[in-house]
Chains A and B, each alone.
Chain A
Amino acid sequence: MPRAAASSDRRQTFFSRLLEEHARVFFFSLGKLWQNPAGTLLTALVIGITLALPAGLHALINNVDKLSYSWEGAAQSSLFLKDSVSAERGKDLARELNARPGVARTTYISRDQALAEFRKLSGFGEALDILDNNPLPAVITVTPMHKQSRDEINALVTDLSNLPEVDMAKLDQKWLERLYGIIDLLQRGVMVIAVLLSLAVIVTVANTIRLDIQARREEIIVMKLIGAPNSFIRRPFLYTGLWYGFTGSVVALIFVGVGMAALTGPVQNLAGLYESNFSLSGLSFFAVLQVFGAGIVLGWLGAFLTVSRHLSKIEPH
């Protein structure tokens, strides 16, 4: 029992010392950056711009996505009924479909109504009299409920087209499909840009830390002479990289915020002209966390790669 207690006690002090040491380096490296505000700000600015680009594009695309989503409510689907379906059955079907989940509204248009409407709209009035019988099918127009995903609406339309009474179903939103295609492409593009710019952040931090290591060469040698292990010498540089990433993230978020604020007014104006209540949304809480996460991880990684490469080359002689 005493042995187990002693060993747990030792582990306790080991961890609390490690924590104390990390806390010390955490603030020590921050203090070092504080001593050189201009240099720190410059690095943070470069990282900030690099991170702001994908973050800002991401926010813009999300807004386009949201906008297209609000248009989707206007999408209507037309169900062309088979000629064998009676007018009564057609009306009943329209009523049944109205009760289906995901359906907001249905309207039955009989063959006669369809012909009358066509006559009126097409201007072929007299010409149609030549025909012996009405060539137009009866139609049920279905308005899907708001707030459904694209997949849900597509599934609904497929279901409806499989009804025995329905000859063909048509979702009248090809252009929306195309828009989605473009948005997908843009999202992929932003991802590629994000990967490339992540490399740029790593290189920026790595280069800054490399200069830092060179400037502190003597100090590193002295540390090695008095028995500092590599992990000890490396630690402040890793935290410096982490701080660069963090401050870069803050700068990036400020840039994105300012950019969004600048766009809000004109967007609201434009939305007003289209009688829409669309408004620009900024980065989500999750996206903000992602920016911080990316900055910190990339900064740390950039520092880690350089320090590992350069530290072993600096030895007392």
Chain B
Amino acid sequence: MTDIIQFHDVSHRYEGGHDVLSHVSFSVKQGEMVFLTGASGAGKSTILRLVALIARATRGQVHVHGQTLASVKPRHIPAYRQRLGLVFQDFNLLNDRTVFDNVALPLIIRGHSHRDVGRQVRAALDQVDLLNKEKVYPLTLSGGEQQRVGIARAVVTKPDLILADEPTGNLDPEMAHEVMRIFERFNQVGVSVLVATHAIDLIKAMPHRMIHLEHGRISMKVPLSVRHAGDFPYA
């Protein structure tokens, strides 16, 4: 299996600050689901930002889809991002458009034909169980429903990599659990998923690899074998 994400000795500092990531190396395999954990400020979001080219590594190399991100020119960033599915903590939906129009947006950006759009949007909404909500506006939905719209928008273009930054941060435990299960469903059909999360309790029972960050360094990688054994390094 090839790696879909590779970090080689990556460091990052925001302008004028200190290193928020230092010497980070890890990889995510194609078709793998990985949790990125760590305390607030540990650098989880920064890692996702580097993968989505919202920020660039100060030192070291990031490879995604076998491509060296340092070589992606600014004008090619849109095309690069179109291969990713991004899910955010605060959903980032456009509240003046219907659920349908929100989910359709990535397809319209890619220039899909009208008929194509209708079919694929409904398929995506079906996958997150929101087929009956296509005509409503996001703010009339519960947090969990809004996040499912966000997921539908991320997967409507069938990306092979989903990045999610604390997707359950604003949800109650039950909804959070439901959202995580949706990610697992996509992972089961071969999509690679990288989820940054605080919610240790939630992912405790989920059999996926974990990468734990502390102050910008990887302090622990919990391999699948350990997770399968049911051992969990946090009491």
Query: Which residues of A line the B interface, CB within 8 A?
Result: 13, 17-18, 20-21, 24, 219, 222-230, 232, 315-317
Contacts and interface: CB of A to CB of B under 8 A. Distances in A.
A227 B111 contact: no
Nearest to B76: A229
Contacts of B55: 317
Nearest to A13: B113
B54 A20 contact: no
Nearest to B153: A226
Interface string B56-82: 000000000000000000000011111
B150 to A, nearest CB: 10
B109 interface: yes
B105 to A, nearest CB: 6
Contact of B94 (A219, A229, A315): A219
A225 B52 contact: yes
Contact of B54 (A17, A18, A316): A316
A20 B92 contact: no
Contacts of B52: 225
Contacts of B81: 224-227
A229 B111 contact: no
B18 interface: no
Nearest to A316: B54
B109 A225 contact: no
Chain A facing B: main interface SS: helix
A174 to B, nearest CB: 66
Interface of B: 52, 54-55, 78-82, 84, 86, 88, 92-94, 105-106, 108-114, 153-154
Given A316-B54, A317-B54, A317-B55, A225 B108 contact: no
A227 B78 contact: yes
Contacts of B108: 21, 24
20 contacts: A17-B111, A17-B112, A17-B113, A18-B111, A222-B92, A222-B93, A223-B105, A225-B54, A226-B86, A226-B109, A226-B154, A227-B78, A227-B106, A227-B110, A228-B78, A229-B79, A229-B109, A232-B109, A315-B54, A317-B54
Contacts, number: 53
Given A316-B54, A317-B55, A227 B82 contact: yes
A176 B161 CA distance: 81
Contact of B78 (A18, A21, A229): A229
Closest 8 CB pairs of A and B: A227-B81, A227-B82, A229-B78, A228-B109, A222-B92, A316-B54, A227-B78, A17-B111
Contacts of B106: 226-227
B81 to A, nearest CB: 4
Given A24-B108, A223-B109, 15 more contacts: A17-B111, A20-B114, A21-B111, A222-B92, A222-B94, A224-B78, A226-B82, A226-B154, A227-B78, A227-B80, A227-B81, A228-B78, A229-B78, A229-B109, A316-B54
Contacts of B110: 227
B113 A20 contact: yes
Nearest to B86: A225
A137 B71 CA distance: 95
Contacts of B94: 219, 222
A219 B94 CA distance: 6
Nearest to B113: A17
B234 to A, nearest CB: 31
Contact of B109 (A17, A18, A227, A316): A227
A137 to B, nearest CB: 83
A17 B113 CA distance: 6
B37 to A, nearest CB: 23
Contacts of B109: 223, 226-229, 232
B75 to A, nearest CB: 8
A224 B114 CA distance: 22
Nearest to A315: B54
A54 B152 CA distance: 53
Nearest to B111: A17
B79 A227 contact: yes
B102 to A, nearest CB: 9
Contacts of B111: 17-18, 21
Contacts of B78: 224, 227-230
A33 to B, nearest CB: 13
Nearest to A32: B96
A225 B113 CA distance: 22
Nearest to A225: B86
